[in-house]
Every structure is written in structure tokens, then in C-alpha cells.
Amino acid sequence: MPGPDGRHRDTTPADVAGQASVGELFAEVTRDISTLLRQEVELAKVEATASARRAGKGAGMFAGAGVAGHMVLLFLSIALWWAMGTQIGHGWSALVVAAIWAVVAAVLSLVGRSEMKKVKGLPETVDSMKKIPHALQGHEEKNS
């Protein structure tokens, strides 16, 4: 078998067996690392999707609270204008509508805040990524 300098060298069956086992070990390690990384990416995707859904729901509630808050300002402004203009019942009816929108805004804001507190990020991915260096070094016992 030619060596790096182009000369032929004698190989023994032990050399061939040692080379094959090292190659097989290297292929196995490469395959395991590849599988581990694919699993980590998949876990990150699943966690990111779940977190994004929760964040989207909370953001939607905040958006609803913003619209409701806008309606409060609109109806309070109309009520004040109407009450001052006529000093009779039309202004008070606008205040009742504004009060209803204030309640809606408060409820949506509280629900949105509650949903945003439930967003946890990617805790499982972070935890398992911390374990990879120990696993690659053969110190899995340090992961517990």
C-alpha cells in the first residue's frame, strides 16, 4: 500500500483492522453528532412555534385593548362635547357607551398580560444544548 511519500509499505492485517475500526468509529461519531444536531433543531422549531403562538395571542389581546382604549377616548371626547353642548341627556348616553368600552379595554389588557406571562422561550432546547459539550467529551454524568 503506498504511503504519503509514494513508496509501498508493508501492511499487516492488524493495521488494516485498526484503520477500518477507526474509520467506522469516526463514521459512527459523525452520524451520531448529525442526528443530535437534527434533533436539537427540531426541538428548537417546536418550542419556537409554541412560544410564537402564545406571544401572538398575547399581542392580539394587547391590540384589542388598544382598539378599545381608542374607543374610550373617542366616546369620552364625544360625550364631553355633547354634554357641554346641550347639557341634557345625549351626553350622558355617550358616557355610558364610553364606560362600556373602558371595561372591555381593561379585560382585554388583563387577558393579554396573562398570556404574555406564559411565554417561556425555549427552555428545553437551552437545557439540552448545555448537555452537548459534556456528551461530546464522554462525561454524560455531569449532565445530571
pLDDT tens figures, 47-67: 888 888 888 888 899 999 999
Q: Which grid coordinates are listed for 38?
A: 437534527
The CA distance from 70 to 93, in Å, is 18
Does residue 21 register a pLDDT over 70? yes
The per-residue pLDDT of the chain, averaged, comes to 78
Give this prediction's pTM.
0.39
Give the residue ranges of DSSP H helices in the chain. 13-86, 89-117, 123-137
Q: Write the Ramachandran bin of 6: left for phi over 0, alpha for psi from -120 to 50, otherwise beta.
A: left
Select the highest-mean-pLDDT range: 19-28, 102-111, 121-130: 102-111
**35 pLDDT more than 80:** yes
pLDDT band at 88 (very low <50, low <70, confident <90, very high): low
Rounded distance between C-alpha atoms, residue 125 and residue 48, angstroms: 10
